[in-house]
Each structure stands twice: as C-alpha cells, then as structure tokens.
Amino acid sequence: MGLLDWDHNAYYHRLLMRQLPSPCTRVLDVGCGAGAFAAELAKRAGHVDALDRSPVMIQAARQITPANVTCILGDVMRDPLPAEPYDAIVSVTALHHLPLDDALRRLSRALRPGGVLAAVALPRPDLARELPAELLAAAGHRAFGAAFAVFRSSGRGGWYRLGPGHASMPKVLDPPLTTRQVRQHATAALPGARVRRLVFWRYLLLWQRPIEGGLASTGRLSGGERRGRMPAEPPIGAA
Ligand SMILES: C[S@@+](CC[C@H](N)C(=O)[O-])C[C@H]1O[C@@H](n2cnc3c(N)ncnc32)[C@H](O)[C@@H]1O
C-alpha cells in the first residue's frame, strides 16, 4: 500500500448518502464488508441491516457498528431477505460480485414503493468509451492522494485512509460488465434505472421503486434526477 493510496469506496459514501429517501427508517447495506458505511448510515437511518457473506467481514463490522445496526452473515442471492420492505438498499463495491440481473430484481422486490436502490460498483474498463474518465482517474488518484496525505499528516481526520481490513476484503478485480453493459442490463431489469460512470473506477446505479398509480414522490431524487439527469460527484470533503 503506497503513501498516496486512498479509499475510493469511502470517497463515494457521501454520494450514496445523498440518495437516501425521506423518510428513511430501514436501510439494507449489501456486501457491507467491515461495516464503515453501515456505521455512517446508522446516523441517518432508524435501523440498518448490514449483510455480508464473509464471516471475517461481519465479525469486523460488529466491532465498529452502533446498536441500530444488525450485522447479518448471509448471501444476498441465497438467503431470504426480511419480509418488511426497506426504504433504501445501498451497496458499495459489491454489485459486481453478483449476477446483475437476478440481483437487481431480487433487491427491487425488497424495497417499499418510493424506496431507493443506490449502488456504487466497479465497471470493466472500456477504454474506447471512457478514456477521458480513465485519464482523469489516473491523474486525480495521485493528486488527491497527495492532498489527502498532507491533510492526514496535519492531524485533521482520516481523509480516506485505507482501513486495516482493506487487504483481507474479498475483491473481484476483473468485473464482468462495462458501465454501458451495466446500464443495458439495469434498464432492462428495472425500467427507469440510471447508471453512470464515476471518475474513480466506479459506476453509480440508481433506481426508485415506482409508487403504484403515480410517480414516485417520497424519495429524495430531485426532479432533474427523475427526468434522467444524474447527481454530480461529491466535492472533496472531510473524511
Ligand atoms: C469489495 S468488498 C466491499 C465491502 C464494503 N462495502 C466496502 O466498501 O468496504 C465486497 C463485499 O461484498 C461481499 N459479497 C460478495 N458477494 C456477496 C453475496 N452474494 N452476499 C453477501 N455479500 C457478498 C464480500 O464478502 C465483500 O465483503
């Protein structure tokens, strides 16, 4: 791990937090890993279910999450999801571990009407279409890494420091689908879903479960987002 390395997953937490609907009483974090995002969610949501199939990750998540987080050892594709629907289902870098179409349909059924599915995951590189993003990511990774290292050394926060569990986290380094393919699958499985490439080797997938008889109106997606515009990436902020 180099001095300039930093946690791209943590960087996108705030982007996902901004997608949470209101009210947001029950949230599911799919592939919660060591629980860092579930702990953040717990400050906004009444209750968080943090699910992972890795016993090591769930053990780590139990150490850092507060009482309103239930850490569940289970496989999201195999084990039954709770009958009571969620206001939001979120996921950080786990969707590309799963068979996408089945996962999206399965997760969509676990949302309340107006509930939001928001996921950040890894796309397969697609240099023909995403060369500008790749170049920006390579340059930005180092520039941001240098800035974050300086901020960390000044003692003002963690600034996306890679956690101790990073090395042991289950990873898929060869994701099967490009951003474009994820968009094709997502819009077929969940009409109205939106997918866009984020700079730092991630895509964002958003979908709001329609409210029967009308447009979804209780979620926090803005009018522009419901018409198909995606939210901007977050500015650099305190870690
Ligand atoms: C790259 S890690 C990301 C962890 C965490 N979300 C983070 O951002 O630090 C992906 C996680 O998804 C979990 N995962 C993969 N497939 C899963 C499945 N079918 N059910 C539950 N968890 C799964 C892995 O065990 C792993 O902890």
Ligand 1 atom 13: the closest Cα is on which residue? 31
Does residue 102 fall inside a structural domain? yes
Ligand 1 atom 12: the closest Cα is on which residue? 31
Does residue 154 fall inside a structural domain? no
Strand order in the sheet with 111-121: 69-73, 47-52, 26-30, 86-92, 111-121, 202-208, 194-198
Element (H, E) at 92: strand 86-92
What does each C-alpha distance from 174 to 7, 13, 124, 202 come to in angstroms? 18, 22, 7, 13
**Substitution site in 169, 172, 173, 201 for ligand 1 pocket (most atoms within 8 Å of beta carbon):** 169
C-alpha 212 to ligand 1 mean position (Å): 32
C-alpha 31 to ligand 1 mean position (Å): 3
Rounded CA-CA distance 135/141 in Å is 10
Reported as half-sphere exposure (CB side, CA atoms, 13 A), residue 49 has a value of 19
193 sits in the region (left: phi over 0; alpha: psi -120 to 50; else beta) called beta
pLDDT for position 106: 98
What's the CATH code of the domain at 93?
3.40.50.150
Which residues line ligand 1 at a C-beta cut-off of 6 Å?
Answer: 9, 31-33, 36-37, 51-54, 57, 75-77, 92-94, 97-98, 169-171
- From the list 115, 93, 108, the residue with the least C-alpha distance to 30 is 93
Does residue 143 fall inside a structural domain? no
Does residue 2 fall inside a structural domain? no
- From the list 108, 71, 73, the residue with the least C-alpha distance to 192 is 108
Number of domains in the chain: 1
Ligand 1 atom 16: the closest Cα is on which residue? 97
For residue 184, the SS3 value is: helix
Ligand 1 atom 27: the closest Cα is on which residue? 33
Rounded CA-CA distance 22/31 in Å is 23
Closest ligand 1 atom to Cα of 10:
8
Does residue 67 fall inside a structural domain? yes
The amino acid at residue 49 is D
Print the domain residue range for 93.
20-124+168-210
Does residue 145 fall inside a structural domain? no
Does residue 132 fall inside a structural domain? no
Closest ligand 1 atom to Cα of 77:
19
Query: Tens digit of pLDDT per residue, the chain (239 long)?
Result: 677 889 999 999 999 999 999 989 999 999 999 999 999 999 999 999 999 999 999 999 999 999 999 999 999 999 999 889 999 999 999 999 999 999 999 999 999 999 999 999 999 999 999 999 999 999 999 999 998 888 888 887 888 888 777 778 888 889 999 999 999 999 999 999 999 999 999 999 999 999 976 554 434 454 455 444 566 665 443 33
Rounded CA-CA distance 196/177 in Å is 13
pLDDT for position 157: 84
Does residue 60 fall inside a structural domain? yes
20 sits in the region (left: phi over 0; alpha: psi -120 to 50; else beta) called beta
**Substitution site in 7, 17, 40, 57 for ligand 1 pocket (most atoms within 8 Å of beta carbon):** 57
